Amino acid sequence: MSPVDHKNKPRGGADDLPPDIDLEDEAVEEIVEPAGPDVAFTAIDWTPHAGDAEGMVGAEVIQTLVKRLPNAPGVYRMMNAAGDVLYVGKARSLKKRVTNYAQGRFHTTRIGRMVRETSTMEFVVTRTEIEALLLEANLIKRLRPRFNVLMRDDKSFPYILLTGDHVSPGIYKHRGARSRKGDYFGPFASAGAVGRTINSLQRAFLLRSCTNSFYENRTRPCLLYQIKRCAGPCTGEVSHQDYAELVGEAKDFLSGRSQKVKTEISAAMQQASEALDFERAAIYRDRLAALSHVQSHQGINPATVDEADVFAIHQEGGQVCIQVFFFRTGQNWGNRAYFPKADPALEAAEVLGSFLAQFYDDKPTPRTVLLSHGVEDQELLAEALSTRAGRKVAISVPQRGEKKDLTDNALQNAREALGRRLAETSTQGRLLAGFAETFGLAKPPVRIEVYDNSHIMGTNAVGAMVVAGPEGFVKNQYRKFNIRSTEITPGDDFGMMREVMERRFSRLLKEHGDVAVAGDAAAGEAMAAEAGDDIEDDISGSFPAWPDVILIDGGQGQMTAVRKILSDLGIEDRVVAIGIAKGQDRDAGRERFFVRGRDSFSLPVRDPVLYFVQRLRDEVHRFAIGSHRARRKKEMVKSPLDEISGIGPGRKRALLLAFGTAKAVSRAAIEDLRKVDGISEQVAKLVYNHFHES
């Protein structure tokens, strides 16, 4: 596996644009749009005058705008009346592509709805269609338009880093910008795979994994040396030259020359054995075993594929799964499943093509990309990826041989992953339907919010909210509330819950007050009548801001406080509030539920809905306690110096180095404070006055 290359390719600017664009007659602005981490180019943000289109929507406004569009490549954005971007697309000819929308003849309900909601459009003219493709992917990931195919997972991939900025290089797990000097190997499919590989590589090559500051301050070898995970360069247990040889062997192994490394270690083991140095021979034996352990956990290791990413797509039940396998230097570094948001009417090739452009927007590209399905503009995409990588990137759909086996294996994994997801979604759907029946709801809830408080004798009080929906817990919607009110008596759970409810729903009314509740049947029917059969797909693709149900961890007293807040805000009939009180002896299974208009009741001990509610409650407990502990830990290390305005980390460090403790700083005279480096007379008086009222 070769280290990742870094190259920048500046592109042409406004002077290279086609001659039929009259920049003097239109509203233009020169912009620099990054097409990814490795490519930047200058384009023209080109907006036709649309004074005659004011008040128009749909095909009418597009017909007005298309009259003055250039016959040039670029990117267009369709927006609704609120300014939200509905769709981002690229075109070889902006005029021809947008004319298709203006004609009003649409093949799918999705495109028809998209056009009907459009009230304005914006355009970016690029020099080439390749630049348009790269810019389109960048804008889709940044703006996340409602009608585009969207990646649901933007997490970066982990790498193995062998540092190059120290006399004794270390081996580390790395995620994020590759700014530190050294060699990066990857990507790996998961952080767990990186951790396991590093552990095995430490046994095989005895490389250090400590920080530089830890390394510099050692006077004797650490525990890793004792358990034969490090050669001990920090205290001279191994010479710098011998340690450099170990680092070189690790680089060779990670770069694909594993057989060469194993042959050399095997020869050294044999030589030590013949010299009757059995202790040294045992060390080489253990290193060989560690290398075999790494390779045995890599699954399929192809013989004819040196460096490639393999993509396979499977569609079923209105959902899509794209499985990605990573191969570098003939070694399999794992796989990851993606479930992009896409209209069910889209073909697999269209979804996969859009996904690929977004996938490589911020990731290094291998020399080969293997696909289970051909994609639209495959040659253009290959040229765009080559432009970004600075070398040739080949995209192909294998028809036979080992490469075909790899795509077939990825496709099988995609089928199985989507099957598991559909099964989980189906189970969740049945639980939500049972939940609605148990608590008398008109329809299964789409968004459930669960609330709880955590504190110790009223200190470091935190309120927590977790969210669940048709696909399980939605962790990017979780929220925590640091209790701020000074009027609440410490330990007053009712007062804490009252503050959480006020803050949550006051903000929700301010930001989404005009949004219909997802559980509002009348609103849903109206939307369906206007949009047609495609409404179900659209609702499933967007998560509502308003909850259908809120679950409160508490009994009648908590519910009284919550209902009063909802009533004061005028939303008591908009949200169903349910209280969960711990049962007799606080045993699970004996919970009592409080719902407006009904007497409190319990559920049968083996009721699936009861298990579902217990899972929700346990999750909010976990989140609340974790948030409370984090706040308490922060308070424990808080210094009185943090409260002084103008005392930052640097001055705080200087004061503590000079006086030892914050208490000693509080007793110091102004003259003593002024002697500290970085503390002026004005700052010294500020510190002194903070601790002395007179």
Contact 189, 326 (CB under 8 A): yes
C-alpha to C-alpha distance for 620 and 668, rounded to whole angstroms: 47
Question: Alpha helices, DSSP H only, in 553-643?
Answer: 556-568, 608-636
- CB neighbour burial string for 569-589, b if at least 16 within 10 angstroms, e if fewer: bebbebbbbbbbbeeeeeeee
Contact 323, 189 (CB under 8 A): no
Residue 82: per-residue pLDDT: 83
CA 267 from centroid of its chain's CA atoms: 46
Residues contacting residue 419 through CB under 8 Å, at least 6 positions apart: 316
Q: What's the 3-state SS for 181-244?
A: CEEEECCCCCHHHHHHHHHHHHHHHCCECCCHHHHHCCCCCCHHHHCCCCCCHHHCCCCHHHHH
C-alpha to C-alpha distance for 571 and 505, rounded to whole angstroms: 9
Catalogue the E-assigned strands of 305-408: 307-316, 319-328, 331-338, 368-371, 394-396
Structure tokens at 682: 């004005």
Decide the pairing of beta strands 158-163 and 171-175: antiparallel
Residue 694: per-residue pLDDT: 54
Residue type (1 letter), 204: A
C-alpha to C-alpha distance for 632 and 248, rounded to whole angstroms: 46
CA atoms within 13 A on the CB side of 264: 14
List Cα–Cα distances, 604 to 215, 587, 601, in angstroms: 60, 13, 10
Phi, psi for 457 (deg, rounded to 5): 50, 35
Residue type (1 letter), 520: D
| Cα maximum dimension of the chain | 94
Residue 313: per-residue pLDDT: 93
Structure tokens at 218: 């050692």
Residue type (1 letter), 131: E
C-alpha to C-alpha distance for 147 and 144, rounded to whole angstroms: 9
C-alpha to C-alpha distance for 103 and 441, rounded to whole angstroms: 44
Q: pTM of the entire structure?
A: 0.62
CA 624 from centroid of its chain's CA atoms: 22
CA 20 from centroid of its chain's CA atoms: 42
C-alpha to C-alpha distance for 138 and 142, rounded to whole angstroms: 6
DSSP at 483? -
C-alpha to C-alpha distance for 222 and 1, rounded to whole angstroms: 31
Residue 244: CB atoms within 10 Å:
15
10 Å CB burial of residue 62 (0-12, 13-18, 19+) is buried
Residues contacting residue 119 through CB under 8 Å, at least 6 positions apart: 56, 57, 61, 79, 80, 81
All domains of the chain, ordered by start, with CATH?
A: 9-143 (3.40.1440.10), 158-296 (no CATH), 307-420 (3.30.420.340), 442-634 (3.30.420.340), 640-691 (1.10.150.20)
Residue 82: CB atoms within 10 Å:
7
Residue 293: CB atoms within 10 Å:
16
Flag residues of the chain having pLDDT under 70.
1-56, 104-107, 152-155, 256-260, 290-303, 329-330, 455, 457-458, 491, 514-542, 583-589, 634-639, 693-694
C-alpha to C-alpha distance for 371 and 424, rounded to whole angstroms: 27
10 Å CB burial of residue 684 (0-12, 13-18, 19+) is buried
Question: Alpha helices, DSSP H only, in 227-332?
Answer: 240-254, 258-274, 278-296
CA 384 from centroid of its chain's CA atoms: 25
